[in-house]
Amino acid sequence: MGARSNKTLKPKPKLPKGAALKKFKKRANPLKGVEYIDYKDVALLRRFISDKGKLRSARVTGVSVQQQRKIARAVKNAREMALLPYPNSAR
C-alpha cells in the first residue's frame, strides 16, 4: 500500500509544453491531388471511414477542417445511395 501511494504521488518529470505530442508525426495530407470530393468515389471515401462505417476524425486522417466537412458530406450522400454502409454496431 505504502509503496503504491508513493508511486502515484511522485511528481512527474517536468516536460516542456507539447513535448508529449512530439512523438506523433503529422501525417501527410491524404487528399493531395483531389480537388473535388465526390460522393461517387467510394474507393477514396473508404479511407475516411472505420471498419464499422463510422467517419474517421480529421485528427486521425490528417485532413483540414474544411476538407473534413466536405468528406462528411460526401460520405453521408454516399450512404443515402447505398454506396457506403451506415455505422453498424452489430459487427
Partner 1 sequence: MRHYELMVILDPELEERTVAPSLETYLKIVKDSGGKVEKLDIWGRRRMTFEIGKKSEGIYAVVDMHCEPASVKELDRQLNLNEAVLRTKVVVLN
Residues of the shown chain interacting with partner 1 in the complex, contacts defined by CB under 8 A: 39-40, 77, 79-86
Nearer to partner 1, 39 or 48 (CB): 39
HEC readout, the chain: CHHHHHHHHCCCCCCCCCCHHHHCCCCCCCCCCCCCCCCCCHHHHHHHECCCCCECCHHHHCCCHHHHHHHHHHHHHHHHCCCCCCCCCCC
Q: How far is the CB of 43 from partner 1 (least distance, A)?
A: 14
Q: How far is the CB of 8 from partner 1 (least distance, A)?
A: 48
Nearer to partner 1, 62 or 85 (CB): 85
Nearer to partner 1, 31 or 84 (CB): 84
